[in-house]
Amino acid sequence: MPATINLMLTARLAQLKAALSRRDRVATNRAVVTLLDEQAPIGEHWKTISHLMQVSGEYTLALRAIDAFIASAANPAMARYSKVVLLTQAHRRQDAHDLLIQLPENVPDRAGHAYVLGNIALTLGHSDAARGHLVNALEHRPGWGPAWLSLASTGNLAEDRMAEQMLAEAAAAERQGPADLARYCYARGKLHADRKDPAAAFSAYLRGAALLKSETPYSRDANAANALSAMTGFDAEFFKRMQTHATADTDRPIFVTGLPRSGTTLVEHILASHSQVHDGGELNVIQHVAVTAGGVSGHAIDQYLAGGGTLIALGDLYLHLLTERAGSAGRIVDKTIDASRYLRPNRDDLPQRPAHLDAARSTG
C-alpha cells in the first residue's frame, strides 16, 4: 500500500510540475486541488505551493495550502504567522489581526509582531492603536525604517514627541540594509516636510529614492517596449474582428487610471464613499489576464483567439481573480497604476483628434 501511495503522489506532483512548465493555469489549479483533496503528505512543500497560488492570484487555494502546511508544521506558531502574512496580502486584514493576536508576542519576533499589528490597525483606520503598536516595534528594533515610515503616516510629525527620537536613531538606521534604510529616509523626509523644511525633506527623499533605485533599477528601454506593444495591433480591423466575439456583460469593476500623482487616489476615495462601492486599491490582477492572453498587443490577442482562447475566458478570469482578492460583494475600484497598458477602448469611443493637429504634425 505505501508503494502505491508513493507512486500516486509522484504522478500527482509530476502533473503539477508539467502544468507549471506549460504555464497552464487551469491544469495547475486542478493539480493543486487534487493534492489538497487527497491530503497529500508533502509537509513543508505546502508552503511553496501556497506561495505559487498567491503569486497567481488564487487566494482560496493559497489559503487551503497554507492550512495544510500548518497541519504538518514542526513549528505551528511560525506556520500560523505565514498565514497572517498571506491574509494581509489577500486584503483580509481583520482575519489577519484576529489570528496574529492569538500568537505569542515573539512570533516572528517582538518587533515584527508589533509592526504587523500596527500596519493592520493603520489600514483598518485605527490610527491610535496603530501608533501604539509601531512605537512598541521601535522599542524592540530602534531605527527600523519600515516601522518609522508607517508611524510617519499616522499624522503630522512637526510637534510629535517621537520626532526627535527618529532623528536620534539615525545611526541605528544606517546599520540596516538598503531597503529598510530607504524607508527610514522617506520617514525622515516626511518629518522635515511637516516641519516646513523643504530642502531637508528633498534631501532625505532623494537619498531614499537612490537607495531603492539600487535595489530595483528602472529600465527605460523595457518600459518603452511594453508601451509600444500596448499600442500595437489595435486598428479598425481589430475592433471589427472583436465584435464577432461574445463578451461578458458586467459592470462590477470600476477602472481608475492615470499618471502617478495625477489624482487617481482622490477619485478612488470619492467612488468608494458610495455604500455599494469598495476600495480595491492597486489590485494588479489584470496582469494575470495579459499573461494568459500572451501579451498586451492586439496581435497577441489575435493569436490567443486563434489558439482556441475566448474573450469570455479572459473576462471570466479577471472577474474570478477580482473576487479572490476583493470578495464577492459590491462594485470594486481597480486602481492598478499601469492599467492603461492593458485596457483598450472601443475605437468608436475614442475622442476624435482635430484634423488641424494632424496637419501640423505632418508638416513638422
Domains, the chain, ranges and CATH?
A: 1-108 (1.25.40), 120-126+135-217 (1.25.40), 233-349 (no CATH)
Distance (Å) of CA 148 to CA 94, 133, 140, 203 = 23, 12, 13, 17
The predicted pLDDT at position 282 comes to: 85
Say which residue the cell 479577471 belongs to.
318
Question: How sure is the predictor about 242, in pLDDT bands with cuts at 50, 70 and 90?
Answer: confident
Greater pLDDT, 282 or 198? 198
Question: How sure is the predictor about 161, in pLDDT bands with cuts at 50, 70 and 90?
Answer: confident
What is the bridge-based pairing of β-strands 277-279 and 253-255? unpaired
Which has the closest alpha carbon to 288: 10, 15, 29, 5? 29
Q: What is the 3-state secondary structure (H, E, C) of 142-190?
A: CCCHHHHHHHHCCCCCCCCCCHHHHHHCHHHHHCCCHHHHHHHHHHHHH
Check: CB of residue 24 under 8 Å from CB of residue 317.
Answer: no
State the Cα–Cα distance between residues 224 and 30, nearest whole angstrom.
37
pLDDT at 13 over 90: yes
pLDDT at 357 over 70: no
The predicted pLDDT at position 346 comes to: 52
pLDDT at 353 over 90: no
The predicted pLDDT at position 246 comes to: 65
* Model confidence, pTM: 0.84
Check: CB of residue 33 under 8 Å from CB of residue 61.
Answer: yes
The predicted pLDDT at position 350 comes to: 45
**Range 258-279 average pLDDT:** 89
pLDDT, the chain, mean: 89
Question: How sure is the predictor about 139, in pLDDT bands with cuts at 50, 70 and 90?
Answer: very high
**Range 215-219 average pLDDT:** 87
What string of DSSP letters covers 95-130?
A: HHHHHHTTS-TTSS-HHHHHHHHHHHHHHTT-HHHH
Greater pLDDT, 4 or 146? 146
pLDDT tens for each residue of 32-75: 999 999 999 999 999 999 999 999 999 999 999 999 999 999 99
The predicted pLDDT at position 197 comes to: 96
Q: Looking at the DSSP assignment, which residues form a beta bridge with residue 255?
A: 334
**Range 336-357 average pLDDT:** 62
